[in-house]
Amino acid sequence: MIKLGITGGIGSGKSTVSEIFSLCNVPVYIADTESKRLVATSPVIKEKLINIYGKELFEGGVLNKALLASHIFNDKAKLEQVNAIIHPEVEKDFKEWVVNHAHSPVIAHEAAILFESGFNKLMDKIVMVYTPLEIRLERTMKRDHTTREKVLERIHNQMPDEEKAKLSDFVIVNDGAHSLIEQVLDILKQVKDL
């Protein structure tokens, strides 16, 4: 089994690329979706977050996302503390997911922070989705109903594209001029030939 990591900055089109892989019969683990599920359902995560931030974080048994965000926004140390709680549970969940997909010759793991979280070490090959900055800004402002400044702030908090590209085995260019399907098919051909 070949494990592909799919990464890229906010608004790069990771989800679209993941959907194409999925249409090519490659199961895709979406780390963002699964981490949100785990934060809502994992007693381990819940207990550790309550120990740090108090019971009000889970008033009514449901995570108060706004309260958690207020604790970690613009505080890198607190963000890293929360990630240190969540990432091990996501890793455990991913490993169980891999076992459940053992019949698949290729699987993928999509994560915006693949390198930052260390999940790249669990992958055989890394696919980075590159999209020009202006396209990323437009997409994210429209999708998230937010300002250019707020999107730029989020982009600046992520690993730069140039760094991600250097650490990746494949770079998919998502600029509207290159076929995403052809690029995905080419990557699949190359990894299946390994």
Q: Is 14 labelled a binding residue?
A: yes
The residues near 46 (Cβ < 8 Å, ≥ 6 apart) are: 39, 58, 63
Q: What is the dihedral of CA 87, 93, 97, 99, to 10 degrees?
A: 110
DSSP string, 14-80: HHHHHHHHHHTT--EEEHHHHHHHHHHH-HHHHHHHHHHH-GGGGGGGS--HHHHHHHHTT-HHHHH
Tokens of 110: 């999509």
Q: Is 35 labelled a binding residue?
A: no
Tokens of 113: 């922070």
Q: How many CB atoms lie within 10 A of CB 5?
A: 25
Tell me how far apart the alpha carbons of residues 74 and 175 are, in angstroms, rounded to a whole number: 31
Q: Is 192 labelled a binding residue?
A: no
Q: Is 15 labelled a binding residue?
A: yes
> Please, is 43 exposed, middle or buried when counting C-beta atoms within 10 Å of its C-beta (0-12, 13-18, 19+)?
exposed
Q: Is 140 labelled a binding residue?
A: no
Which residues sit in the known binding site?
Answer: 11-16
Which residues sit in the known binding site for ATP?
Answer: 11-16
